[in-house]
Chains A and B, each alone.
Chain A
Amino acid sequence: EIVMTQSPATLSVSPGERAALSCRASQSVSSNLAWYQQKPGQGPRLLIYGASTRATGIPARFSGSGSGTEFTLTITSLQSEDFAVYYCQQYHNWPPSTFGQGTKVDFK
């Protein structure tokens, strides 16, 4: 099973600032990496797939990069609606599909 590790656990950012979230895989997942956003009481929402492709309707301030074992989700100019928990997921070796433990982006 591929283990996904996210850092940091919590990222404190002010509105308008840039946030960079990291995700590391225990072995190569090529570009088979997705990022999700989850707000309290809601199911996750797909943001990025294929490591760098934005899902339908996702604003351009969200971008993904990386391949192999190291990945980054960057949110430029954070908006109030972006404060949430973000998860990475590998779907290279499935089953099982595995998730990172999450990074919470909150107000500084």
Chain B
Amino acid sequence: EVQLLESGGGLVQPGGSLRLSCVGSGFTFSSSAMSWVRQAPGKGLEWVSGISPAGGDTPYADSVKGRFTISRDNFKNTLYLQMNSLRVEDTAVYYCARKTSGAAPFDYWGQGTLVTVSS
């Protein structure tokens, strides 16, 4: 059974930092492209960043470029999102999601972790 388990969310002040993690199991993590997708309270889905299976390709949404960094450790089956210079508008549930290739749907999603940016 495929599982994606996010962690690391919490309350942080504007300008602060947070690192999210997502552990994958039940599939070959090292062969899967991964992404972070977020959902602000009561809003729709917004793709944040993605990473290729080997980690060499890491696109970002314009809204987070220069502030967030995506990475992965294929030995630990873990995806990361380092979030710096956080803003109130970054408040959202952050989901990790898997897809089989670059241009493909997200076939598995985690349950999400809530990030709240507030003073």
The count of residues in chain B whose C-beta lies closer than 8 Å to any C-beta of chain A is 24
Give the A-B pair count, Cβ closer than 8 A: 59
* Min C-beta distance of B1 to chain A, whole Å: 12
> For B24, what are the chain A residues with a Cβ–Cβ distance below 8 Å?
none
B27 on the interface (CB 8 Å rule)? no
* Min C-beta distance of B110 to chain A, whole Å: 6
The count of residues in chain A whose C-beta lies closer than 8 Å to any C-beta of chain B is 23
Question: Are B106 and A44 within 8 A (Cβ)?
Answer: yes
Question: Are B45 and A44 within 8 A (Cβ)?
Answer: yes
Question: Are B44 and A95 within 8 A (Cβ)?
Answer: no
B102 on the interface (CB 8 Å rule)? yes
Interface residues of B, Cβ cutoff 8 Å to A: 4, 35, 44-47, 50, 59-61, 95, 97, 99, 102-112
Interface residues of A, Cβ cutoff 8 Å to B: 32, 34, 36, 42-46, 49, 55, 87, 89, 91-92, 94-102
